[in-house]
């Protein structure tokens, strides 16, 4: 249980809030680069700031204020040019650093080389692994971490986004919550199929901290301490991610009561299908609400979203009752409180990387590294219950578009239907 004040500290992310300051010290994934290929200008709200993401005709990405510094027109109705984005009201043009580089009427009647004072707020954007990453903190920006899975070859990757109407922190607490797999995914999925059977119980949990987050480890009925679920475990990635061996999830705050869920998936093609080169990583938006107005419950992350939004727009942690299954949650909260103090004292927070060499191919605890890097045959895929299902359908998020399914099937050498 937390006091209301401590709950506010964890959850409020607007400019100038302690947690907003902390999360701004890290590069945040904000979408897929492929989204901007179709439409190069996209309005986006991040940590309570209204912004516009764009890709100019030279391929440079920018993230600028939603409002033009001239007279506040909406930059999401601007257009991109060879360099930068131009406001559609009076044609002022800005580059990705925020510099105003053209003011057509002023340049005609009294050209001045300097347009100092007319800068638009701008944040650095980088592309990595098909994702676009933004850094909204104090400069100089730290290194953008290259997680080792981003370097894997011969894989089909896809990015799935979802707009989730609740606070980011309850979603992140789900990243360090092993027992929910048994109930929310296994047993609930059984009930939806009319099956009263229960999945293997959790018997033992362990939570550990490392530089880039926490691992949780577990033994369930039928498993032992030799199992990788205990020897390796899964990763609650600091500060707002989750890594499960074949995919990442991030919970990116839109504002205090909304979260952009960003997930990145990798499946290595079967042996014999190499070399497989994916030129662009498809990005798609997963709906979370059905036509009946209820949350969609058929897919794994949709089930998680039911938990997150069910806790309220901002979970009231003054009313909770934490028990031993929640030890990891308490560890994570305490780490956040300590890091809030660290940045208030002028120290660098946990996991920020300044050395470029240390930012390359960072290995995370990974239960499936050999499979993802060495590969297995299609027959071996078919013999593994989880992987067989992965070939048959995309169970993580509702609504995979048919063209993404077709591209996946083509990569894997299976039928699309
Ligand atoms: S408001 Fe943008 S150029 Fe005038
Ligand atoms: Fe889950």
Closest ligand to Cα 72: 1
Closest ligand to Cα 173: 2
Distance 94 CA to ligand 1 centre (A): 11
pLDDT of residue 112: 86
Region 266-288 average pLDDT: 97
Ligand 1 pocket test: which of 66, 84, 85, 87 has the largest number of ligand atoms within 8 Å of its C-beta?
87
Distance 303 CA to ligand 2 centre (A): 7
Express each pLDDT in 357-378 by its tens digit.
Answer: 999 999 999 998 999 999 999 9
Distance 323 CA to ligand 2 centre (A): 19
Q: How confident is the model at residue 113 (pLDDT cuts 50, 70, 90)?
A: confident
Q: For 195-233, list the strands marked E by DSSP.
A: 202-210, 213-220
Closest ligand to Cα 261: 2
Q: Is the pLDDT of residue 301 over 90?
A: yes
Q: Residue whose CA is closest, atom 4 of ligand 1?
A: 90
User: pLDDT averaged over the chain?
Assistant: 97
Looking at ligand 1, which atom is closest to the CA of residue 90?
Answer: 3
Q: How far apart are CA 219 and CA 402, in angstroms?
A: 37
Looking at ligand 1, which atom is closest to the CA of residue 71?
Answer: 1
Q: How confident is the model at residue 71 (pLDDT cuts 50, 70, 90)?
A: very high
Q: Which distant-in-sequence residues (6+ apart) come within 8 Å of 188 by Cβ?
A: 297, 303
- 3-state SS, one letter per residue, for 329-386: HHHHHHHHHHHHHHHHCCCCCCCCCCCHHHHCCECCCCCCHHHHHHCCCHHHHHHCHH
Q: Is there a contact between 56 and 82 (Cβ–Cβ < 8 Å)?
A: yes
Region 228-244 average pLDDT: 97
The runs of H, that is alpha helices, within 206-317 are 228-231, 300-310
Express each pLDDT in 158-167 by its tens digit.
Answer: 999 999 999 9
Ligand 1 pocket test: which of 78, 81, 92, 105 has the largest number of ligand atoms within 8 Å of its C-beta?
92
pLDDT of residue 234: 97
Pocket of ligand 1 (CB under 6 A): 68, 70-71, 73, 87, 89-92
Distance 103 CA to ligand 1 centre (A): 9
Two tokens, residue 273: 């299908």
Region 168-193 average pLDDT: 98
Closest ligand to Cα 68: 1
Closest ligand to Cα 90: 1
Region 394-409 average pLDDT: 98
Q: Is there a contact between 55 and 36 (Cβ–Cβ < 8 Å)?
A: yes
Q: Select from 267, 311, 229, 292 the least CA-distant residue to 408.
A: 267
Q: Is the pLDDT of residue 14 over 90?
A: yes
Distance 55 CA to ligand 2 centre (A): 34
Two tokens, residue 27: 């590069």
User: How many other CB atoms sit within 10 Å of the CB of residue 230?
Assistant: 17
pLDDT of residue 262: 99
Distance 404 CA to ligand 2 centre (A): 23
Q: How far apart are CA 228 and CA 208, in angstroms?
A: 15
Q: How far apart are CA 374 and CA 291, in angstroms?
A: 43
Give the Å distances, CA to CA, from 12 to 22, 324, 348, 376, 379: 11, 27, 20, 45, 49
pLDDT of residue 414: 95
Percentage of the chain modeled with pLDDT above 70: 100
Provide the residue count of the chain. Answer: 417
Q: Residue whose CA is closest, atom 3 of ligand 1?
A: 90
61-65 and 122-123 beta bridge pairing: antiparallel
Q: How confident is the model at residue 266 (pLDDT cuts 50, 70, 90)?
A: very high
Looking at ligand 1, which atom is closest to the CA of residue 87?
Answer: 2
Residue 325's SS3 state is: helix
Distance 89 CA to ligand 1 centre (A): 5
Region 129-143 average pLDDT: 98
Distance 396 CA to ligand 2 centre (A): 9
Closest ligand to Cα 183: 2
Region 276-305 average pLDDT: 97
Looking at ligand 1, which atom is closest to the CA of residue 92?
Answer: 3
pLDDT of residue 1: 86
pLDDT of residue 278: 96
Q: How confident is the model at residue 306 (pLDDT cuts 50, 70, 90)?
A: very high
What Rg value do the Cα atoms of the chain yield, rounded?
Answer: 23
pLDDT of residue 38: 87
Model confidence, pTM: 0.97
Ligand 1 pocket test: which of 52, 67, 73 has the largest number of ligand atoms within 8 Å of its C-beta?
73
Ion ligand 2 nearby residues (CB, 5 A): 304
Looking at ligand 1, which atom is closest to the CA of residue 75?
Answer: 2
């Amino acid at each position: 249980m937390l006091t209301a004040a401590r709950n506010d500290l964890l959850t409020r992310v607007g400019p100038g809030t302690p947690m907003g300051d902390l999360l701004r010290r890290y590069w945040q994934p904000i979408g897929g680069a492929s989204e901007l290929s179709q439409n190069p200008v996209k309005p986006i709200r991040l940590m309570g700031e209204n912004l516009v993401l764009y890709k100019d005709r030279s391929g440079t990405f920018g993230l600028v204020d939603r409002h033009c510094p001239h007279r506040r027109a909406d930059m999401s109705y601007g257009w991109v040019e060879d360099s930068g984005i131009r406001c559609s009201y009076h044609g002022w043009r800005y580059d990705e650093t925020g510099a105003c580089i053209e003011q057509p009427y002023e340049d005609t009647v009294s050209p001045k080389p300097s347009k100092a004072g007319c800068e638009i707020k701008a944040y650095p954007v980088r592309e990595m692994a098909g994702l676009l990453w933004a850094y909204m903190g104090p400069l100089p920006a730290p290194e953008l971490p290259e997680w080792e899975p981003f370097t894997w070859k011969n894989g089909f990757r896809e990015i799935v986004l979802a707009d989730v109407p609740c606070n980011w922190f309850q979603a992140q607490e789900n990243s360090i919550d092993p027992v929910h797999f048994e109930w929310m995914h296994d047993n609930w999925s059984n009930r939806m199929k009319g099956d009263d059977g229960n999945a293997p119980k959790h018997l033992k949990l362990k939570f550990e901290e490392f530089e880039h987050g926490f691992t949780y480890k577990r033994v369930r009925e039928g498993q032992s301490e030799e199992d990788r679920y205990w020897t390796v475990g899964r990763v609650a990635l600091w500060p707002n991610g989750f890594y499960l061996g074949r995919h990442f999830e991030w919970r990116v705050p839109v504002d205090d009561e909304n979260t952009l869920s960003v997930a990145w998936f990798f499946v290595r093609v079967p042996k014999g299908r190499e070399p497989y080169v994916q030129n662009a990583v498809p990005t798609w938006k997963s709906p979370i609400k059905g036509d009946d107005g209820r949350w969609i419950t058929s897919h794994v992350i949709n089930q998680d979203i039911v938990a997150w939004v069910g806790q309220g727009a901002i979970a009231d942690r003054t009313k909770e009752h934490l028990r031993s299954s929640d030890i990891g949650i308490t560890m994570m909260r305490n780490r956040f409180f300590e890091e809030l103090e660290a940045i208030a004292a002028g120290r660098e927070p946990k996991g920020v990387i300044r050395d470029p060499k240390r930012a390359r191919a960072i290995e995370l605890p990974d239960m499936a590294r050999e499979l993802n890097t060495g590969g297995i045959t299609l027959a071996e895929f078919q013999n593994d219950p989880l992987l067989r299902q992965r070939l048959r359908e995309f169970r993580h998020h509702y609504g995979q578009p048919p063209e993404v399914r077709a591209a996946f099937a083509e990569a894997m050498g299976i039928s699309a239907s």
